[in-house]
Amino acid sequence: MLIVSLILINVPHVYAQDEGEVDLTDLPSNLAKALGVSEAVAKLIASARVMLLFLTPVLMLTKNLYAILMIGFIAMGTLIALGWLDFWFILVISLIIASLWGSKIAKAISGGR
């Protein structure tokens, strides 16, 4: 985790290299050039950084799982709107969460029987 954090320190530097207008959608391509990786990997790195930025305070301040999921899905929706994540990413995460809570959902629908 420390190595990933040290690599992600370069994100603001890459973002501030150009003197022209600032465009968040170009951040992954600038990061890919700076780190020497493909653009898909740079999108995942930048997305992980933003997810950590949003979720770390929530994880530290609350133990409410619904709040953590809500902030996580809001962050993923923002990243999908920016074009950093594909739309199927949120679908896969939703299916994983549904499979983990399948028994609780079935119990709630059936009235606790």
| The predicted structure's pLDDT at residue 17 | 53
pTM over 0.85? The answer is: no
| The predicted structure's pLDDT at residue 59 | 86
Please give the angle made by the CA atoms of 9, 83 and 70, to the nearest 5 degrees: 80
Residue 29: pLDDT band (50, 70, 90) is confident
Give the count of alpha carbons within 13 A of 107, CB side only: 5
Q: How far apart are CA 47 and CA 41, in angstroms?
A: 10
Average pLDDT over residues 44-73: 87
Average pLDDT over residues 94-108: 82
> Mean pLDDT in the chain?
80
Average pLDDT over residues 91-98: 89
Q: How far apart are CA 47 and CA 84, in angstroms?
A: 7
